[in-house]
Structure 1
Amino acid sequence: MDRSESIHTYIRPSTSKQTDEHQRSSIEEYLEERGVGLEDVNQYVDVGSGADDEREQFQDLLDHIRSKNVDHVVVWEISRISRRGATLQEFFDICENNGVTIHITDGAVEKVKPDGTGRFVADIVGMVYQQERRQLIRRVESGVRRAKSQGKWLGQVPAGFKRNDDGYLRPIINPKEDEDSYIEMADALERVEEGNSYRSVARSLSISRQGLSNIHQDDERRQWYLRGEADDKRVEDALKAFSEQS
C-alpha cells in the first residue's frame, strides 16, 4: 500500500449516538504506519445498522470498487462492513473480483487479498458476528414478549400518562412543565365534546392540536379520558390504580 494507489476507508458507527472516533483513530494509526495520511485516502462514513444494506456511503463504495477505481479498502473491523452474512460475502466477492485488498485494523485477520488469502478466517469471523446478531434479536424479542406478558407498557406513552420505574403505565397526577396530567386531558376532551375547537383547547396544553384531534377521533382512546374505561388491560389497570388513589 502506498500513496500512489487508490485507498478508501469505511467507518460505520452503529447509531447516531455512537462516536466514530475510536474507528477513525485506529484506521489513521494503521495508515500512518504505512506512510499514508488521511489526506491521501477517500473516506466513507455511514451511521446506521449493519443489517441495513442500503447505506448510502456503503453503496457508493461498492460502486467505486465495481468501477475498478479502488486498490485498498481499510476498515476497523469486519462487522463495520455488515453483520449480514450474505452482504459480507457479496462484499468479499466484489473486492476479490476487482482486485481489491481489504485491510482490517482491529480483528483476527489483518488482510483479505484478491487471491483468497485471509478469506477463510474472515468468513468465520463474519459467521460469528451474524450469530451474535441473531442471538441479540432473539433476546430483544424475548424481552418484549416478557414485558407484554407482565402488562408493562412498551412504545410511546399516551398523553396524560407516564411509565413508572417498573415499566407500568400510570396516569400523571402532578405534571411537569412539559406534561399534561390525566385530569387536564380529560377536561380538554370534555371541552371538545362541548363544541370547542381543537386549536382553542390545545392552547392550554402541552399536547399539539393535532395530537388532541387524534385522541378525540380515536373511539377507543377517547373513552380512556371521558369514561375512564379501556379495552387494553394495561390502561385499565392504570386507570384502576388512579381511581384508588383519588
Structure 2
Amino acid sequence: MSEILAYARVSTSDQSRDGQLESIREHYPDLPAENIYADVGSGDDPTRDEYVELRDRVEAGEAEKVVAAKLDRLGRSTAEVADFVDTCSDQDVGLHLVQQGFNVDPDDGMGQMMLKFMSMVAEMELKLNRERRQEGIERAIDRGVQFGKAPHGMTKNEMGVPVPGEGYERVQAFIREVREGRAKRPTARFFEIPEGSIATILERADELYGVEFDNDEWTLERAKVEAGEKDLEELGG
C-alpha cells in the first residue's frame, strides 16, 4: 500500500523546533511519525540513513507522495535532486514542497510533466556548470597558468588537468553561500574547507568551480547582513 512520506534535513538534534518539520506537520497533521524521515546534520553528511530509506521506499513503489519543505532538501547536489525528481516521476509519485507552494498529485498528468521539466532544468544547470568549469580551465591553460597541487575539492586527471574530486560540490555550495553575504571563515569551517584555500577558491570560483563570485558584490551583501537589512537562514537548516 502506497503512503505519503515526508523528508527533512535539519541542523539540530531538537527536530521538533525545526521549521521544515513544523511546515510539514502543518499541512499533514495526521501523518504517522514512522512516515517522517529526518536526517540531522549538514547536507554533506555521507550517511543520511533516513534519506536512503526514503528513496528505497519510493523506488519500491511504497510512496504515493513525497513531502518536503523545499526542493533543495531532496538532495545534496543539483544532480541528486534531479535524479530524485526523476525517480518520483517514473514511479508516479506526487511531490509537495510545502514552503514553495508546489503540489503535484500522482494522477495529475500536467503536474507529472512539471516534475519532468524540473528534473530537466536541474540537469541542464549541472551541465552548464560543468561546461563553464571546463571552459575556465582551458582559458587558464591558454594564459599559461601552471597547475601545481590540485585546488581544494579537485583532483588531477592523467593529463594533469584539475577535475572534480571529493568535496567538489561542497566547495560549490560554500561559494554560493558566501555570495549571499555570509562571513567567509565561519562558512568555510561549516563546509570543512581549510582557511588557506578560501582566497584561491573565491578568486577562481567561476574558472574552476563553475560558480560566479564577485568580491565587490559580496562586500555589499555582507554589509546588508551586518546592518540587519538582510536575513540569512541558519546553515544546514
TM score, norm. by length of structure 2: 0.47
TM-score with structure 1 setting the length: 0.45
Q: Which has the higher contact order (CA 8 A, sep 6+)?
A: 2
